[in-house]
Structure 1
Amino acid sequence: MTNRESETAFDLRRDRVAGRWGLTREIVLVRSGPVLPMAGSDMDHTFKPHPDFAYLSGRGIADAVLAFDAQKNKWQMFGPRSTPDEQVWHQPAEPVGLPLDELDGWISLRSDQTVLEAWDDPKIQAGIADERVHKDELELSLLRTAALTSKSGFDWVYGNVSPGMTEREIQVGMEAEFFRAGAVRTAYPSIVAAGSNGAYLHYFYGQEDSLNPATRTLREGELLLIDAGGEFGGYASDVTRTMVVGAEPTDVQSFLWHLVLSAQELAIDRCRPGQEWREVHLDSARVIGSGLIELGLLRGDLDQLVSSGAVALFYPHGLGHLIGLNVHDAGGYPAGREPSSHPQSRYLRTDRLLEAGMITSVEPGVYFIDALLKDPAVRERFADEVVWDAVDPLRGFGGIRIEDDIHITDDEPEVLSGDIGKPIRIG
C-alpha cells in the first residue's frame, strides 16, 4: 500500500466517524496523550498513543491533538515542536500539522462552538469504537503482519525449548524472534507459564515482586503454556499454545488438550456474521463440560453444570475478545449490552452479534486453579457436581489454552494466526 493509499484510508476513517457523530457546530479534540513520568524518577514510561488518536491519524506522537470542526466538516492536526534544548537529549518528533501552541488560538476563533474532549464524551467514544470494530484493508494488512512476527517466536519455541530451561529463558528467546521478524514491541506482557503456573490466567514475569522476580524451571513432562504476540504498526497479535515438553503426554494431558482444541475448532467455525458471541461462548463451555463429565471430574446434567458455575471452576474466562490497536480492543459491549451475571459469562469481554470485518480471539481453556479448588465454600457448594476425589490429584496440573486470532468475513473465517503450529509435544 502506497503512502497516498494509506492517507486515503485515514481520510475515509475520519469521514465515517464524523458521520456517526452527526455533529453540526461542535469541536472535537482527540488527543494522543502525554508522556507519563515514572514515580520518583526523572525517567518516563514508554509512550503509546491513545488508540482512538492512532486510529484516526496513524501517528504515534505524544502530546498531539487531532481537532474536528463540525461546522466546517474539517479536521486539523496539531503537533508539538521540539526545542533545541530538548533535541540535545531526544530525537525530535516529526512536526505534523500546525504547531501545538496554535491550538488555543484556533479554538478561540471558534468561541461560539462547544468543545468536546473525545476521551470524556461517551457519544464521541462510541462513534469511534463503532468504526474501530470493523477493520479496513490497511488494518488487516498490519494484523496479518503482526501474526507473522508471532509465528517466528513460536517457531523458535518449538525448535529450541527443552526441560531444564527457565520460563524467563524461553520468554527472552521467543521475544527476540518477534523483534527480528519486525515486531515493534510485544502486544502485551508475554505469558510463559510452566507446570502449575499455567493455572494463573495472566501469569507475568515479575508480577508477584518486580524487584525479586521468580522464574520456574521447566521439568520433563510438564505443560508449558505460552500466551504471547508481536505488535506491528500499533496492531496486536494474541496467540496461545500449550505443549507437553520432553515426554509423551499422559492420558489426562492428551484428553484435555484435544478437548480444548475441539472446543476451539467448533467456536472458530461459528465465527460468522449474525452469530451471537455469548451463545458461541456458552456452547464452548458445553464442549468443555461434556469432556469433564467424560473424564469423571464432573457429574450431572450438562446444562445445569454450565448454569450453576461448575464448569466455570475449570473454564472461568470468556471465549475471546476483539483485537486491534488494543489486544482487548474497543467495541466489545455495544450500547444496550451489559455484562452478564451468568456464572459462565461474568468475565466475558465481548457480548454482541458478530459482523464481517471484526477480529476476535478464540481461546477456550481448562485450568486447575488451586485458589478455587481448595476453597471450603466452593467445595461445599459444588459437592454434588464436582467429583473432588478425582479432581484433587490434578491440583498442580496447571492449565491448557489454545488461542488464535480470527477475521470474520462474509465467507469462511480467516485464521490470521493459522500458520502457527499446534504441537501437543515439543522437545
Structure 2
Amino acid sequence: MPAPAAAELAEYAARRAALIKAMGPDGLAIIPSAREVIRNRDSHYRFRQDSDFLYLSGFQEPDSVLVLAPGNQDGEFLMFVRARDAAREIWDGRRAGPEGAVSQYGADQAFVIDELDKQLQGLLSGRRRVFYTFGEHPEWDPKIAAVVREIREVSRRGAAAPTDFVALETTLHEQRLIKTEAELKLIRHACQVTAGAHVRAMQATQPGGWEWAVAAEIHHEFERHDMQCGYGSIVGGGENACILHYKENESQLNNGDLLLIDAGGEYRGYTADITRTFPINGRYSGAQKEVYEVVLAAQLAAIATLTAGNASSRPHEVATKALTEGMVALGLLEGDVDTLIAEGKHRQFYMHGTGHWLGLDVHDVGRYKLDGVARNFEPGMVMTVEPGLYIAPGTEGVDPRFHGIGIRIEDDVLVTGGAPEVLTSGVPKAVAEVEALMAGR
C-alpha cells in the first residue's frame, strides 16, 4: 500500500490528537504492530496490520511500535520501525525506515525498533498511566513489565513509576466505534464491491456446480477492485448452511437446495460483511420460501431499530421475537412466544446474536454495554444485522420438509441522525428480486 496522501495524514493526526486528549497529560500509549506469521516453513501468511496501529498511523509494516507521549518536548508521536536493509528489501519489499516514518507518515521522531528497549525507561518514567493492553502482544508484555519494575526499584531516587495500566478498550476502542466521514467512505466502497461480488456469485450459481467455484467468483471480484477477503468466505450449499462457520467450501451444489454465502471484502483495512441465501436452481421451494420470509421479516424489523437513541440491544430483541413468532407459525416450536424466549427454546434454531459492530475489524471494537446497561446507538456507528434460522437434518419433531434448511440474511447498517442507512442494499434479498436476478443468468 502506498504512503498516505496529505488528507489521509491529516485524518491519522486527528485520530491521534483525540486519543492524546483522552489520555491526559500524564499518560503514555504503547501500541505494537502486528507480526508476520509463518504459514509453512519459509512462506508467510499475507500480512495484515494490527487494527489499532493502522487506525492511528496508516503504517503497513510489521515489527514496529507506535508511542504517543503527550507533552513530550521532542514531539508526541514516536515510531520505532525496522531499519532499512538493502539485502532484505530485495527479498521482502521496501521498508520506510525511520526516515520514511517521519517524511511519509508524519512521525515527530522515529528510531529503529532495536532502540525501543533502551528508550522505554525514559519514556515511562514520570508517567502515571500507561495505555497498553496486556495479553494482546505477548512478546511485548514482559519487556514493558520489566521496565516498570526497574523504574520502581529506582523510584526512591526520583523516577516516578506508572501506577495505572489502562486497556485500550476504554479509550481508543471507544473512539474507533464512531466512524468518521473518511472511514465511512472506505466502508461504503467495501460494501459496494462486496455487494457486486454477491450478485456475481448468484448469477454464476448453477446446479451441479461447486462451492469452491462460487467462492472463486467472489474472490475474483474482490481482487479486481484492489481488495482482499476480510474473513474466510462461507459458501455452504444445502445442509452445509446449517453450520454457522462452515469453511470447507468443497461440496457440489444440488438442484433444489439453497446456497448460503457469507463473504466480505476488505478495502484499506475496512471490511464489509454480507450474507445472502438463495436457491441454486433459481426458485425457492414452498418450504424454503416459508422459512426465508420469516428470516427476512425479522431482519427488516431489526434494521428499523438502528436509530440514534435506541438501545443497541433492540435489534436482537426485535429479531428474536419475530423469529420465534415465525417458528411457532411454522410448527418448529410450540407455546407462548415470550415464554419460549425466556426459556431459551428458540436457540435450537437461532443460536447466535443478531449483529456486531463493523469497521477495521469484522467484529469491530467498542463496548456493547456501559455500566452493565446496553448502550444507545449514536450516529456514526456501523452494525451488521444478520438473523437466521438453521434446521439441522434429522431434527426430531420437525416436519421433514424443513430439514436441512439453513438461512441467514445479513446487511451492514449505518446509524445516522435519521433513518438507518443500509450500506449493502446493492444485493437483492426479497424473494421476487432474487428469483428475477437468477432468472436472467
Question: TM-score if structure 1 supplies the norm length?
Answer: 0.85
Greater RCO (Cα-Cα under 8 Å, separation 6 or more): 1
Residue 327, structure 1, aligned to residue 362, structure 2: yes
In structure 1, the residue matched to 2:306 is 271
Query: How much has 1:157 moved relative to structure 2?
Result: 1.3
Residue 396, structure 1, aligned to residue 404, structure 2: yes
1:199-214 to 2 correspondence within 5 Å? 199-205=242-248
Query: How much has 1:21 moved relative to structure 2?
Result: 2.1
Inter-partner Cα distance in structure 1 for 2:306 and 2:355: 11
Change in Cα spacing, 1:255 to 1:36, as seen in structure 2 (3 Å) is: same
1:419 to 404, 420, 426: 426
Change in Cα spacing, 1:156 to 1:111, as seen in structure 2 (3 Å) is: closer
Helix, strand or coil for the counterpart of 1:259? helix
In structure 1, the residue matched to 2:69 is 69
Partner deviation per Cα, 1:330-373 (whole Å, 9 max, x = no partner)? 014345339xxxxxxxxxxxx53211110000001111135xx7
Query: How much has 1:76 moved relative to structure 2?
Result: 1.6
Partner deviation per Cα, 1:250-297 (whole Å, 9 max, x = no partner)? 222111111111111111111011212223212211101111111122
Amino acid paired to 1:44: H
In structure 2, the residue matched to 1:345 is none
Inter-partner Cα distance in structure 1 for 2:12 and 2:192: 24
Helix, strand or coil for the counterpart of 2:426? coil
1:365 to 388, 404, 407: 388
Query: How much has 1:401 moved relative to structure 2?
Result: 0.6
CA contact (8 A) 1:321 1:332 kept: no
In structure 1, the residue matched to 2:233 is 190
What is the CA RMSD across the aligned residues, in angstroms?
Answer: 2.2
1:15-414 to 2 correspondence within 5 Å? 15-22=17-24, 24-38=25-39, 41-72=41-72, 74-95=76-97, 96-97=101-102, 98-100=110-112, 101-110=114-123, 112-114=125-127, 116=130, 118-120=132-134, 121-183=165-227, 185-205=228-248, 215-337=250-372, 351-369=374-392, 388-397=396-405, 399-414=406-421
Inter-partner Cα distance in structure 1 for 2:413 and 2:204: 28
Inter-partner Cα distance in structure 2 for 1:182 and 1:267: 32
Partner deviation per Cα, 1:46-81 (whole Å, 9 max, x = no partner)? 221211111111222111211111343712223212
Helix, strand or coil for the counterpart of 1:131? helix
Query: How much has 1:105 moved relative to structure 2?
Result: 4.7
Partner deviation per Cα, 1:100-126 (whole Å, 9 max, x = no partner)? 244345445446334836232544332
Greater radius of gyration (CA): 2
Inter-partner Cα distance in structure 1 for 2:39 and 2:222: 27
Inter-partner Cα distance in structure 2 for 1:111 and 1:368: 56
Change in Cα spacing, 1:218 to 1:110, as seen in structure 2 (3 Å) is: closer
Inter-partner Cα distance in structure 2 for 1:32 and 1:117: 15
Inter-partner Cα distance in structure 2 for 1:416 and 1:278: 20
Helix, strand or coil for the counterpart of 2:38? coil
Helix, strand or coil for the counterpart of 2:355? coil
Helix, strand or coil for the counterpart of 2:48? coil
Change in Cα spacing, 1:334 to 1:310, as seen in structure 2 (3 Å) is: closer
> Aligned residue pairs: how many?
387
Amino acid paired to 1:415: V
Partner deviation per Cα, 1:142-172 (whole Å, 9 max, x = no partner)? 1011112212211211222111111011101
Query: How much has 1:178 moved relative to structure 2?
Result: 1.6
Query: How much has 1:129 moved relative to structure 2?
Result: 0.6
Question: TM-score if structure 2 supplies the norm length?
Answer: 0.82
Change in Cα spacing, 1:109 to 1:421, as seen in structure 2 (3 Å) is: same
Change in Cα spacing, 1:110 to 1:178, as seen in structure 2 (3 Å) is: closer
Amino acid paired to 1:82: R
Q: Where do 5+ consecutive residues of structure 1 fail to align?
A: 206-213, 339-350, 375-387
Inter-partner Cα distance in structure 2 for 1:273 and 1:26: 32
Helix, strand or coil for the counterpart of 2:223? helix
Inter-partner Cα distance in structure 1 for 2:123 and 2:277: 57
Query: How much has 1:248 moved relative to structure 2?
Result: 2.6
Inter-partner Cα distance in structure 2 for 1:412 and 1:57: 33
Helix, strand or coil for the counterpart of 1:389? coil
Q: Where do 5+ consecutive residues of structure 2 fail to align?
A: 103-109, 135-164
